[in-house]
Chain A
Amino acid sequence: AQSVTQPDIHITVSEGASLELRCNYSYGATPYLFWYVQSPGQGLQLLLKYFSGDTLVQGIKGFEAEFKRSQSSFNLRKPSVHWSDAAEYFCAVGADGNEKLTFGTGTRLTIIP
């Protein structure tokens, strides 16, 4: 079975600073990896996904993520955060033959002026 770990419960970043949110997965084969963002009281919005191919994937809102098989990681990055990026971020993994997405516990991002 697949699993996801997001080691950071809460991260605070200054506006304009760079951001990296960590995600580690556990799965025997090539996983399907996703990052979602959720603003308070809202649904989840897909930021980006990795299925295969280029290990650096670009998403919406200026986000990117890099798949590193050797480290079982799929970290999310943004070079310069904006106050509107404050939200909860979830990493998720899907797997062959399984309709379920497994979500990490989430990382809450706070932006300070």
Chain B
Amino acid sequence: DTEVTQTPKHLVMGMTNKKSLKCEQHMGHRAMYWYKQKAKKPPELMFVYSYEKLSINESVPSRFSPECPNSSLLNLHLHALQPEDSALYLCASSQQGYTYEQYFGPGTRLTVT
């Protein structure tokens, strides 16, 4: 089973709202990733968790706050977002880091109004 699930599928939020995106995998993978993807562009890496510890933060604004409660779950907490943050947010997981392929979830389509 190579499935990564993400909820919700769609999210509309105002600039003063607080919301969270959730990601789950049951493949025993120890690395998990958040990407942001704008239309007609490749995914842009935001965060990497390796063995439940944040290993990479690609200088993402603090209005995005990742959390890895356990090895199967990854959250992205959103607060005071801007309209330009509207995008498809993708979660991915891999056995461990660079030497293994990443498996992606279907994404959450986020619209900030």
> Which residues of chain A (47-89) have a CB below 8 Å from chain B?
49, 51
B98's partner among A94, A104, A106 (CB-CB below 8 A) is A94
| Interface bin, chain B | 20 to 34
Judged by a CB distance under 8 angstroms, whether A19 is at the interface is: no
A51 touches B99 (CB 8 A): yes
Docked Cα-Cα span, A42 to B108, in Å, equals 9
A44 touches B43 (CB 8 A): yes
Which of B4, B6, B88, B99 has the most chain A CB atoms closer than 10 A to its own CB? B99
> Which residues of chain A (1-54) have a CB below 8 Å from chain B?
32, 34, 36, 41-46, 49, 51
The chain A residues found within 8 Å of chain B, CB to CB, are 32, 34, 36, 41-46, 49, 51, 90, 94-101, 103-106, 108
Judged by a CB distance under 8 angstroms, whether B61 is at the interface is: no
Contact A46 B101, CB 8 Å, known A99-B56, A103-B43, A106-B42: yes
Contact A41 B98, CB 8 Å, known A99-B56, A100-B56: no
- Please, which residue of chain B has its CB at the minimum distance from the CB of A105? B42
Docked Cα-Cα span, A103 to B45, in Å, equals 10
A44 touches B104 (CB 8 A): yes
Contact A43 B104, CB 8 Å, known A95-B98, A97-B98: yes
Docked Cα-Cα span, A92 to B31, in Å, equals 17
Docked Cα-Cα span, A101 to B4, in Å, equals 18
Docked Cα-Cα span, A46 to B2, in Å, equals 10
Taking CB atoms, residues of chain B closer than 8 Å to A96 are: 98-99
A104's partner among B42, B45, B92, B101 (CB-CB below 8 A) is B42
- Please, which residue of chain B has its CB at the minimum distance from the CB of A40? B39
A44 touches B99 (CB 8 A): no
Of all A-B residue pairs in the complex, the 3 with the closest CB atoms, nearest first, are A103-B42, A43-B104, A44-B104
B56 touches A43 (CB 8 A): no
A42 touches B50 (CB 8 A): no
